[in-house]
Amino acid sequence: MKTEVITITTGSVRGITDITRAADAFVRGEGDGLLSVFVPHATAGVAIIETGAGSDDDLMDILDELLPRSDRYRHRHGSVGHGADHVLPGIVAPSTVVPVVGGRLALGTWQSIVLVDPNADNPQRKIRFSFLAG
Amino acid sequence: MKTEVITITTGSVRGITDITRAADAFVRGEGDGLLSVFVPHATAGVAIIETGAGSDDDLMDILDELLPRSDRYRHRHGSVGHGADHVLPGIVAPSTVVPVVGGRLALGTWQSIVLVDPNADNPQRKIRFSFLAG
Amino acid sequence: MKTEVITITTGSVRGITDITRAADAFVRGEGDGLLSVFVPHATAGVAIIETGAGSDDDLMDILDELLPRSDRYRHRHGSVGHGADHVLPGIVAPSTVVPVVGGRLALGTWQSIVLVDPNADNPQRKIRFSFLAG
C-alpha cells in the first residue's frame, strides 16, 4: 500500500478546503484500486461535494445550525463552541474511500473531495492518503 | 479490481432506492474482499438502512428538516430547494464500503444498501461498484 | 482478507462504546493495509471521535435532537423512539475504513473508533473487522 501524510494550510479561517488536486496527484499513474482519505484529527471531517458554487459555505452554515456553537457541550476545552467541533466527526466522518480507475479518481463531474474544518485554531491540518491497488 | 458503473432509474420521485440486489449480483462468486459503493453525483448519497418498514421515508423526512428546501442557500442553480440537495452529500456521504465474505455481502439481516436521492430532476442515476479482493 | 466478527456487550444503556482496543488488537502485526469496521445492525453506526472528555455524550445528545425520540416515525416496531434508531445509520453510517501502517491503526492522537448505539434493547452487538493488506 502506498500511503502518505500531507499537510495543508487552512489558515485561521473556519471552513472547507478542496483537496481534490492533492488526492489526484497521489493516485496518478497508480492503475486501479481504492483511495482511502483519512483525516487524523478529532475536530474535522472529509466530504465529497460540489465546490465553487456556494455549497461549501451552505454546508458549513447547516453544520453550525445542527451543531450550535454554544456552551451546551460537556467537552469544555478550548474556546466556546469547540465542543461542537468535537461532535462534527460523528456527522461528517473523517474517513472516505474513492475508487481509482486507470490512475484517475473516479469522481463525478461536480464532485470534489474536501476537508471540513470548523476549527479556526488549527492553521495546519494533516490528511493521510492510502492507495490499495487491486 | 473489478469495477463497473450501473445506471438505475429512480424516476421523477424523490427518495430512496434499494440497490442491494445489484450490489449482491456484482460480488456473487468473488470470494472475500471489500466492496466500494460510490455515487458519482453531487446531489445524492448512499446509506445502509432497513427498508420496507417505513425507515426509508422516515430518513427522507428527517433530511428535509435538517436541510430545509428553502431559498436560503448560496447555491442558486435549479429549482428552489436544490441548494439542499447539494448539502446532502456532506451529511449522507456518496461512498461506503461493505465487506464481502465468500462472494456474499456481509450485511446484517435488516440492512439494505440504498441510494439517497432528494433530487427529482434526475430520473437516472449512476452507481459505481468496485470490488477489491483480499 | 482477514475478517472476524466480534461481540461486544453494550448492556442496557444507550450510548457510545469505544472499540479502538479491539480494532487495534485485530490489526496488530498485519503490516500495511485498510481496516474496514462494519456494524451489521440496522439501528447502530460507527464513528471516529474523541472519547473521555464528554464528546461521546455530546454526540448522543445532538443525535437525540436531530432524530427526536417521538411517535412521528412510520417505522412502528418496538418502543416509542425506536423509529429514530432506524434513521440513525443514515446519519452515522455503520461502515468506516481506517488505514493501518506497520500493523498499527493510523489514528490521530485524539481519535477513537466507537460504536454509536442509541438502542438500549440490545445488550450485545456484533462488529465485523476486515483487514485488506496492500
In sequence order, what DSSP letters do the residues of B52-114 get, joined into one string? SSSHHHHHHHHHHHHS--SS--S--SSSTTHHHHHHHHHHS-SEEEEEEETTEE---TT-EEE
| Average pLDDT of the residues in B102-116 | 98
Backbone angles phi, psi at C130, to 5 degrees: -135, 130
For B89, nearest residue in chain A (alpha carbons) = A49
- Residues A41, A42, A47, A51: is their CA dihedral positive or negative? negative
Split at pLDDT 50, 70, 90, the class of C119 is: confident
Contacts of B23 in chain C (CB under 8 A): none
Cβ contact (<8 Å) for C58 and A40? Answer: no
pLDDT of residue C121: 79
The pLDDT, as a whole number, for residue C81 is 80
Q: What is the CA radius of gyration of chain A?
A: 15
Q: Are C47 and C132 in contact (CB under 8 A)?
A: no
What is the residue range of C19's domain?
A: 2-133
Give the C-alpha separation, C34 to A132, whole Å.
8
Task: Transcribe C44-107 into DSSP letters.
Answer: -EEEEE--SSSHHHHHHHHHHHHS--SS--S--SSSTTHHHHHHHHHHS-SEEEEEEETTEE--
Interchain contact A122–C (C-beta under 8 A): no
Phi–psi pair at C64, nearest 5 degrees: -65, -25
pLDDT at B12: 77
Residue C51 in this model has a pLDDT that exceeds 80: yes
Q: Is the pLDDT of residue C57 over 90?
A: yes
Q: Which residues on C lie below 8 Å from A86 (Cβ)?
A: 49-50, 53, 55, 58
**Per-residue cell: C35:** 481496516
Q: Write phi, then psi, for C114 (nearest 5 degrees).
A: -130, 150
Per-residue pLDDT tens for B41-83? 999 999 999 999 899 999 999 999 999 988 889 887 777 788 9
* Helix intervals (H) in chain A: 20-27, 55-66, 82-91
pLDDT digits over C73-100, tens only? 988 777 778 899 999 999 999 999 999 9
Mean pLDDT for each consecutive 10-residue tract of chain A (134 residues)? Answer: 95 88 97 98 97 93 93 81 93 98 98 93 92 96
Is the pTM of the predicted complex or chain greater than 0.95?
yes
Residue of A75 and C125 predicted with greater confidence: C125
Average pLDDT, rounded, for chain C: 94
CA–CA dist A41, C13 (Å, integer)? 28
Interfacial C residues in 91-120 facing A (CB < 8 Å): 91-93, 96-99, 101, 106-111, 116
Confidence of residue C1 (pLDDT cuts 50, 70, 90): very high
Q: What is the mean pLDDT of residues B72-97?
A: 90
Return the pLDDT at B30. 96
Distance from A91 to chain C by nearest Cα, in Å? 6
Q: Is C77 on the interface with B (CB under 8 A)?
A: yes
Q: How confident is the model at residue A40, as a pLDDT?
A: 98
Distance from CA of A119 to the nearest CA of C (A): 15
User: For residue C11, what pLDDT is reported?
Assistant: 80
CATH assignment of the domain containing C19: 2.60.120.460
| Residue B1 touches chain A, beta carbons under 8 Å | yes
Counting the structural domains of chain B, the total is 1
What's the pLDDT score for residue B122?
82
Q: Cβ of C38 under 8 Å from any chain B Cβ?
A: yes
